[in-house]
Amino acid sequence: MRYIDSIIAGFGGQGVMLIGNLLAYAGMKDGLNVTYIPVYGPEMRGGTANCTVVLSEEDIGSPIIHSPASLIAMNRPSLDKFQDRVIDGGVHIINSSLIDMELADTDRLKCFGVPCNEIADELGNTRMANMVAIGAFVQATGIIPLDAVISSLENVISARYHKLIPANTKAIEAGAKHVS
């Protein structure tokens, strides 16, 4: 049975909600049941933000996740807040551009350090660090095909920014390649 629950967390403005929404759309496109719950800190840009996403072949009993099977931490405060809650053996994508990998609980978790900001910079836009992270996550977990994520971009990126879909596709692919 395919099932994963995840917390995706970072600073407001890092695109955490966008990639959570993207993961949910991709799960639906791949025929899974999904839940997506955004949680905002006191400030939008610069404050903390996280979302929970559940993907399952079965009905989802509750969208609330206390001990997730996976975590994407885009910054140090997110690592500090959520890493201890991830179940033993869970998958952890860490933005090693902003988080020292020595802080990763590699004894308990399957940790993947991904320099999301550097990879996005190499592709020409630091703001695509979130897309690098989601590509790494999908590759590391194998929960859905990468193609489902890429084809869902048009559902989560507003029409006026559709011209950025090819660049976001490259960022997703680069993230996936980094953990292959």
For residues 156 and 21, the answer to whether their CB atoms sit within 8 Å is: yes
Of all helices (H) and strands (E), which one includes residue 117?
helix 116-123
**DSSP conformation class of 124:** T
Strands (E), 12-66: 33-40, 48-56
Q: 3-state DSSP call for residue 32?
A: coil
Residue 44 clears pLDDT 60, i.e. is over it: no
Which tokens is 55 given?
A: 């993907």
Per residue in 143-173, pLDDT (tens digit) is 999 999 999 999 999 999 999 999 999 999 9
Q: What is the DSSP string of 52-93?
A: EEEEESSPPS-S--SS-SEEEE-SHHHHHHHGGGSPTT-EEE
What would you measure as the largest C-alpha separation in the chain, in angstroms? 45
Which tokens is 26 given?
A: 């991709």
Tell me the average pLDDT of the chain: 95
Global pTM? Answer: 0.95
Residue 98 clears pLDDT 70, i.e. is over it: yes
Residue 45 clears pLDDT 70, i.e. is over it: no
